[in-house]
A and B are shown apart, each in its own frame.
Chain A
Amino acid sequence: MSLGRVLRTGTVAVLALLWLVPTWLLVVNALVPAESYSGSPHWLPTEFGLFDNMSQAWDKANLGPAFGNSLLYSVVSALAAAVLAAGAAFATIIMPVKHRALWFWVIYSGTLLPLQVFIRPLFLSYAESSLYDTQFGLLLIYTAIAIPFAFFVMRNYALTLPKEVVEAARLDGASWWRLFWQIHVPLTRSAMVAVFVFQFVAVWNDLMFGITLTTSRNIRPVMAALADLQGNYSNVGPPVVLAGALLVSLPTLVLFFSAQRFFISSLKIHR
């Protein structure tokens, strides 16, 4: 082994270890039973109190309803965004539409703006229209916020499809509606899965809309509940908070590692 190679391996090992430390501490200290936490971090697992801690976090932060809500928001919004964006991409790329650039920018511009620019007008109009603190209100904004990027991905994918397929089907007399569901959607299925995975994670991880547009514990999403739990750090104790953080991360962790391929393919497109 050359000196260069030793140096390289050493650097990689040190970096990997540094990176692993917080993850390791997260897991180990989430395992420590809350009662026996001594006030300073543990470095090695001794007892197993993970499920106890998780259930304490579940009760204290009302994670149960929050979990259900986030699941609802993530699945429905990501699915709606994928389908609606696929429709918009179909119209702007496959169908003979004028002003394609205009429609592109109208839809796409939403992803360029920071969330801060939407939040107060939404808050006020939600309060006015009784969408505030409702599941439907959150579903609407999560879908709207997911559409621009979903549209961008679906459109880029639609650009790569051969036009002959559609033209042949049109000559055979298929309606646009049938064309969309029976040809376009099956052809773009892999891009739709990528979009779904990506937007599921984005909605699941959202904090800002969760803390601004909801107040009640049975409406708010899971990250707002976690922030609340973190606010009670000294009361409930570190193991419970860490167990809570681990618990709310499980769905995205599982999704990330089981759908890595789709993640990477949507990353390649940008963002």
Chain B
Amino acid sequence: MSTSTTDRPATGGSRRTPPVGGDPRPAERHAWIGRRERLTAGGFMAPSVLLVAVFLLAPFVWTIHRSFFADTRTSPFSWFDNYTRFASDPALTRSIQNTLLWVVGTVVLPFVLGLAIACMTDATRFSRLARLCVVLPYALSGSAVAVVWNFMLTTDGAVNQVLTSVGLDSFAQGWLLTWPGNTLVMILANAWQATGVAVILFLVGLQSIPPETLEAGSLDGAGSWQQFRHIVLPQLKPVSIIVIGMSLVNGLKSFDLIWVLTQGGPGRATETLAVSMYNETFLELRPGAGAAIAVVLTVIVLAASWLYLRRQLDVKGE
């Protein structure tokens, strides 16, 4: 491409521009223009590359490095000691259990509910209103969702009020106080927020199914369940992978909701890896342990991202 531009003088490079009518050293001139173009391209890329490298990639490397050093005063090199704490520290074992619960909950609930709502609603006004109810919480922040659900779940909150008023006093309880109930209700709160985006994505996916396919199916005598099972579901596969991957990664990263609702408590019972890292680093003041948790979390997130990214990326840019 650079060779197609040689008919014009390089801007600002008049010193090296040969006189009109002949170019004594065409090869050198091409190389020079190529270098200039690469320099300009570098100028366009530099701010992004620098910001990402300095603020994201360098801290990442630093964290990996830190995870191999102990948390005593002199912080000596300690091999994998920070990583073996995952097996010995009960708070971290619990954190891994919670993370697994979150992953299952944040993948299954928004997926199933989102798919159901997107498929069961149509273009009528009632359907659109119903969808709005589900999508609305998606516009709230994790912190705001936590405020709403704290109001629902505290001892004198709305859930216990409803249970008492219908005579189910025995079910009323401190929802955020005992494990595993507290983690499960937070997963539900997260699903309340996250289903909206799954609905939107599935709707987009449904629109891309050609109506002729469905018509052909019903002409061949397929019932609505058969149509869903054999025509709609296979066509939704690309969208499904995006929804699953997105929910998976968001579930692994979820911090705001837990932090504002319980700060990982009581007694570190509701921590996930994302919250444990923060607690170990800034509250327990064990940065090495925190760094190890961050690295483990990164590995899991990268593995989860790979599941859905590999089919979407076209890196060469052609």
Contacts from A to B (Cβ < 8 Å): 4, 8-9, 11-13, 15-17, 19-23, 25-26, 29, 39-41, 84-85, 87-88, 90-93, 95-98, 100-101, 103-107, 109-110, 112-122, 125, 140-141, 143-145, 147-148, 151, 155, 159, 167, 170-171, 173, 175-177, 180, 204-205, 207-208, 212, 223, 226-227, 230, 233, 238, 241-242, 244-246, 248-249, 252-253, 256-257, 263-264, 267-268, 270-271
- Known A-B contacts A41-B158, A116-B297, A171-B7; A101 and B137 likewise in contact (beta carbons under 8 Å): no
B272, chain A: closest CB distance, angstroms: 11
Q: Does B233 contact A (CB under 8 A)?
A: no
- CB closest residue in chain A, given B56: A110
Q: Does B130 contact A (CB under 8 A)?
A: yes
| Contact of B144 (CB < 8 Å), options: A104, A112, A167, A245 | A245
Give 19 pairs: A residue, B residue, CB < 8 Å, sorted on A.
A4-B224, A8-B120, A15-B134, A19-B195, A25-B148, A87-B48, A88-B47, A92-B41, A101-B316, A116-B293, A116-B294, A117-B59, A119-B59, A119-B278, A170-B4, A171-B5, A205-B141, A223-B141, A245-B147
| Contact of A120 (CB < 8 Å), options: B246, B259, B291, B312 | B291
Q: Does B40 contact A (CB under 8 A)?
A: yes
Asked whether, in the complex, the Cβ of A92 is within 8 Å of the Cβ of B45, the reply is yes
Which residues on the B side are within 8 Å of A96 (C-beta)?
1-2, 34, 37, 41
- CB closest residue in chain A, given B287: A120
Which residues on the A side are within 8 Å of B48 (C-beta)?
84-85, 87-88, 107, 147, 151
B68-76, B84-92, B250-258: which lies at the interface: B250-258
The answer for the CA separation of A177 and B41 in the assembled complex, in Å, is 10
A257, chain B: closest CB distance, angstroms: 7
Contacts from B to A (Cβ < 8 Å): 1-2, 4-5, 7-8, 11, 34, 37-38, 40-42, 44-45, 47-49, 51-60, 62-63, 66, 113, 116-117, 120-121, 126-127, 129-131, 133-134, 136-144, 146-152, 154, 156-158, 161, 192, 195, 197, 200-201, 204, 224, 242, 245-246, 252-253, 255-256, 259-260, 273-274, 277-278, 281-282, 287, 290-291, 293-295, 297-298, 301-302, 305, 308-309, 312, 314-317
- Known A-B contacts A88-B44, A96-B37; A116 and B133 likewise in contact (beta carbons under 8 Å): no
| Contact of B156 (CB < 8 Å), options: A40, A170, A245, A263 | A40
Asked whether, in the complex, the Cβ of B242 is within 8 Å of the Cβ of A270, the reply is yes
The answer for the CA separation of A254 and B314 in the assembled complex, in Å, is 34
| Chain B CB within 10 A, most for which of A85, A105, A119, A141 | A119
Is chain A's binding surface mostly helix, strand, loop or mixed? helix
Is chain B's binding surface mostly helix, strand, loop or mixed? helix
Asked whether, in the complex, the Cβ of B144 is within 8 Å of the Cβ of A11, the reply is no
* A-B complex: 7 closest residue pairs judged by Cβ atoms: A144-B55, A121-B59, A205-B141, A91-B44, A16-B130, A256-B139, A88-B48
Asked whether, in the complex, the Cβ of A12 is within 8 Å of the Cβ of B127, the reply is yes
Asked whether, in the complex, the Cβ of B260 is within 8 Å of the Cβ of A39, the reply is no
- Known A-B contacts A114-B274, A144-B52; A252 and B141 likewise in contact (beta carbons under 8 Å): yes
| Contact of B312 (CB < 8 Å), options: A15, A112, A270 | A270
- CB closest residue in chain A, given B134: A19
Asked whether, in the complex, the Cβ of A180 is within 8 Å of the Cβ of B44, the reply is yes
Asked whether, in the complex, the Cβ of A252 is within 8 Å of the Cβ of B140, the reply is yes
- CB closest residue in chain A, given B60: A117
A209, chain B: closest CB distance, angstroms: 11
- CB closest residue in chain B, given A151: B48
- Known A-B contacts A22-B192, A116-B294; A100 and B317 likewise in contact (beta carbons under 8 Å): yes
Other A-B contacts than A4-B224, A22-B149, A226-B144, 9 sampled, CB-CB below 8 A, are A95-B41, A100-B315, A107-B49, A109-B57, A207-B259, A245-B144, A249-B144, A256-B139, A268-B201
Asked whether, in the complex, the Cβ of B63 is within 8 Å of the Cβ of A22, the reply is no
The answer for the CA separation of A95 and B36 in the assembled complex, in Å, is 12
Which residues on the A side are within 8 Å of B297 (C-beta)?
114, 116-117
B45, chain A: closest CB distance, angstroms: 5
The answer for the CA separation of A43 and B113 in the assembled complex, in Å, is 26
- CB closest residue in chain B, given A95: B41
A232, chain B: closest CB distance, angstroms: 12
The answer for the CA separation of A245 and B152 in the assembled complex, in Å, is 14
The answer for the CA separation of A141 and B157 in the assembled complex, in Å, is 38
| Contact of A207 (CB < 8 Å), options: B38, B152, B260 | B260
Asked whether, in the complex, the Cβ of A112 is within 8 Å of the Cβ of B136, the reply is no
Which residues on the A side are within 8 Å of B298 (C-beta)?
113-114, 116-117
Asked whether, in the complex, the Cβ of A267 is within 8 Å of the Cβ of B52, the reply is no
A149, chain B: closest CB distance, angstroms: 11
| Contact of A115 (CB < 8 Å), options: B146, B197, B253 | B253
Which residues on the A side are within 8 Å of B8 (C-beta)?
171, 173
The answer for the CA separation of A141 and B55 in the assembled complex, in Å, is 7
The answer for the CA separation of A103 and B57 in the assembled complex, in Å, is 13
Which residues on the B side are within 8 Å of A175 (C-beta)?
11
Which residues on the B side are within 8 Å of A101 (C-beta)?
315-317
